[in-house]
Amino acid sequence: MNRVVVLTIKVLLWVTAVVVPCFVGMLLFFLLDKGLPVISLKLLFGDVAPVKALLLRERVFDGIFPAMAGTFLVVLLSVMWAIPMGVLSGIYVAEFAGGTVKKILDISFDVLASVPSIVIGLFGLTLAIFLHKNISHRIYPCLLISSAALAILILPYIVRTTELSIESVSLPLRLAGLSLGATKQRNLLSVILPRCSGGILSGVILATGRAAEDTAVIMLTGVVASAGIPHSLFSRFEALPFYIYYISSQYADQYELKKGFGAAIVLLIITGMLFGFAHLLKKLVARKINGFD
């Protein structure tokens, strides 16, 4: 290649490599600059004593504690639905499904993974309406519906990581158990699954992060701006991402806006920790597999 062309391409590559991080860095720096001074117990609990708030003795009106608790509960519930379903399906796809069935399942999970989250939220809303009309008039969009919809959102990720982790177990290792007389089930439970539990776990944590940051699904399925700590599966709830969105469109004064910045940082820290942990785990798993086989 011509020297001028090479030089131009290299300059363009360097510009990209510098400009993109700078742009993101600018957005993050701005956020930290505005939000860090606000981070305090007052941001979380308002004027209520933290102990009383944590023990649910007193409701927090002026802090983001209810939103954090709501996010925690809805994510916990959704992961509880999604893990058993996702891992079992992943095992089936990797170990038992063959030929056409596997192809159909693969496409189905790919499509599910690519469905926009707002459409899944819309599905959840429709489900709530359907249940309201046909099962019980007491059912409205609520914690239960939201967590189920979030579970649908993260299902394909859990299925995929389970499937890939199981398929990455090497053939000699698989055969060793079988040749010692283990049944297929026994071999799966005692040899293959323990071997890839780290990989599955890192996938689950990544999926948890996705569930925690998603706003679109919960928006249509039961999140509200002010609800306190939810008391049952059928009550409405608050959540951090929605709180941030709500503040951005409805803030009344500078103090509320500052709380929005604080909440954004808290959400960033939560998802950042989840992603960091998942990546660390993935790296450890990769090292273990490479070092062993």
Q: Should residue 23 be labelled a site residue for other proteins when binding is judged by CB under 8 A?
A: yes
| Residue 250 engages other proteins in binding (rule: CB under 8 A) | no
How many whole angstroms separate alpha carbon 61 and alpha carbon 74? 20
The secondary structure of residue 237, as a DSSP letter, is B
Contact positions with other proteins (CB under 8 A) in 55-74: none
139 three-class SS: coil
Span from 60-68, 165-173, 225-233, 256-264 in contact with other proteins (CB under 8 A): 256-264
User: Are 118 and 216 a contacting pair, CB within 8 Å?
Assistant: yes
Shortest spacing between CB 175 and other proteins, in angstroms: 19
Report yes or no: 70 and 141 within 8 Å, Cβ to Cβ: no
Binding residue for other proteins (CB under 8 A) from 185, 232, 254, 290?
Answer: 185
What are the helix (H) ranges across 38-170?
41-45, 50-54, 65-91, 99-114, 117-134, 143-167
CB of 56 to other proteins, least distance (A): 27
- Closest approach, Cβ 93 to other proteins, in A, equals 7
Which is closer to other proteins, CB of 1 or CB of 252? 1
Residue 287 binds other proteins, judged by CB under 8 A: no
DSSP secondary structure code for residue 239 in this structure: -
**213 interacts with other proteins by CB under 8 A:** yes
Contact pick of 8, 96, 170, 293 for other proteins (by CB under 8 A): 96
What are the angstrom distances between the C-alpha of 119 and each of 126, 152, 237?
Answer: 10, 11, 20
Residue 178 touches other proteins, criterion: CB under 8 A: no
Q: Is 164 exposed, middle or buried (0-12, 13-18, 19+ CB in 10 A)?
A: middle
Shortest distance in whole angstroms from residue 45 CB to other proteins: 22
Q: Find all residues with CB under 8 Å of 70, minimum gap 6, and list them.
A: 143, 223, 227, 229, 230, 237, 238, 239, 240
The one segment of 46-54, 172-180, 208-216, 223-231 that binds other proteins by CB under 8 A = 208-216
203 binds other proteins (CB under 8 A): no
Q: Which of 78, 146, 161, 271 binds other proteins (CB under 8 A)?
A: 271
Would you count residue 80 as binding other proteins (CB under 8 A)?
A: no
At residue 110, what are phi and psi to the nearest 5 degrees?
A: -60, -45
The correct pick among 39, 54, 127, 224 for binding other proteins (CB under 8 A) is 127
In the list 100, 232, 249, 290, the residue contacting other proteins (rule: CB under 8 A) is 249
Query: Does residue 230 sit in helix, strand or coil?
Result: coil
Contact map string, positions 152 to 171, toward other proteins, x by CB under 8 A: x--x---x------------
Minimum distance from residue 48 beta carbon to other proteins (Å)? 25
- CA distance to 15, 58, 75, 200, per residue, from 233 (Å): 51, 20, 13, 28
- Taking the C-alpha atoms of residue 183 and residue 1, their distance in angstroms, rounded to an integer, is 60
Out of 50, 229, 234, 275, point to the residue binding other proteins (CB under 8 A): 275
Size of the site for other proteins (CB under 8 A): 80
- Rounded to a whole number of angstroms, the minimum distance from the CB of residue 52 to other proteins is 29
